[in-house]
Amino acid sequence: MAREFDVPLFFRSTLVEKFKQRGSRKEAEGNSLPGTLDFGPVQFVLARRFGFCFGVQNALEMVYRIVAKNPGKRIFLISELIHNPSVNSDLLQRGVRFLMGPGGERTFDFSNLTAEDIVVIPAFGTTLELEDELARCGVDLRRNDATCPFVKKVWRRAEMLAKENFTVIIHGKFSHEETQATFSHTVRSAAALVIRGYDEARIVCDVISGRLPADRFFEHFGDRVSNGFDPALHLRRVGIVNQTTMLAMETEEIADLFRRTMAGKFGEQALAEHFADTRDTLCYATYENQTATDELARAGADLAIVVGGYNSSNTSHLVELLANYMPAYFVCDEREIISAAEIRHFDLDRKEVMLTSPWLVARDSAGPLRIALTAGASCPDFTVEKVMRRILEFFPEAQALKASAQ
């Protein structure tokens, strides 16, 4: 039986929860097909799975419990608890402070921390270097660790690879808190390298196979490798782990590329000596959400809305999947939907918030407007509901249907 978390009620939505719970439990298992909320002139086609994952709910439960049980105490998060502005804003309003900003900049002088202060590790985890520094300030992090269990699973897998003398290749965004943490935990015991995607994996494989000289390796990865990294030595035995919010399909493609490269260089019979299959580090929630979003895209719609924090890695990949099929708008909440003519959204290519007008496509008189809708793993269900309600305001004939759908 799935664990029930004590997540604050104001993050929940009765409408969305009923939608998620539709059908029997048996029907839901292994089913990634989307469903539809029909409001007459507008239909919202929702992904089968979206919103708070296990790790996010675990972190929320822990931090809100700490706040409730420690009135008057100073409570800090190392950085944002999760990548969602409404969640982090609510914690700030409750007196929780962040030691660091989203870009890693320090917003609080660590020397002012005391053993009486409570410091919480966020869902992404943190680096061992930062843990050591906080310990020297007298801070005990052991009882206040909200690191996602699936992130820790990646760390354990990296540790196993290290014991077997494999180099750990991390598929992730080097500046992301989770990848920074995974890299830090890994380099204590293994050679490590961070690659951003398939194109960078191909460069590494070209170095392994001899198609590119070793000096080209450092042109690309000089600042993303462990100290003393030697391509000739450390690329003979490799295993792949991932930032848990990356595209699962791309991680699998990268693993397959390394497998083929090692088999080509050392032979199939010697493959196990040079390549470790680590597909088990893929986060189940990331995989399920991406699979459900792929099915949502294939179901078809006039446009798509993806809800989540603009610095959320897992949400950005949902946008990428949908954008291959239809216009896709990445919004952090309902306030970004300015009017029926104008929407403010994050553009992944430009990496900036922009205004688009018009955005609502003209409705075919023969049928309703179909809007594909999903959300990132750190997005509250209530934010998704508020996005739907905002859009319905532009369709007066749908107003009577709103109450019946609550």
Active-site residues, by number, are 178
> Hey, what amino acid is at 237?
R
Cα-Cα end-to-end distance for the chain: 27
Q: Which two tokens stand for residue 294?
A: 């792929």
Strand segments, DSSP code E, in 78-142 are: 97-98, 118-120
Q: Which residue is listed with tokens 């935990």? A: 185
Q: Mapping DSSP to helix (H, G, I), strand (E, B) and coil, where does residue 329 land?
A: strand
Q: Mapping DSSP to helix (H, G, I), strand (E, B) and coil, where does residue 5 land?
A: coil
Q: Cα–Cα distance between 94 and 100 in angstroms, integer?
A: 17
Q: Which two tokens stand for residue 124?
A: 């992404």
Q: Which residue is listed with tokens 């934010």? A: 383
Rounded (10°) angle between helices 198-209 and 214-221: 160
The residues that bridge with 106 in the sheet, in sequence order, are: 100
Q: Cα–Cα distance between 44 and 46 in angstroms, integer?
A: 6
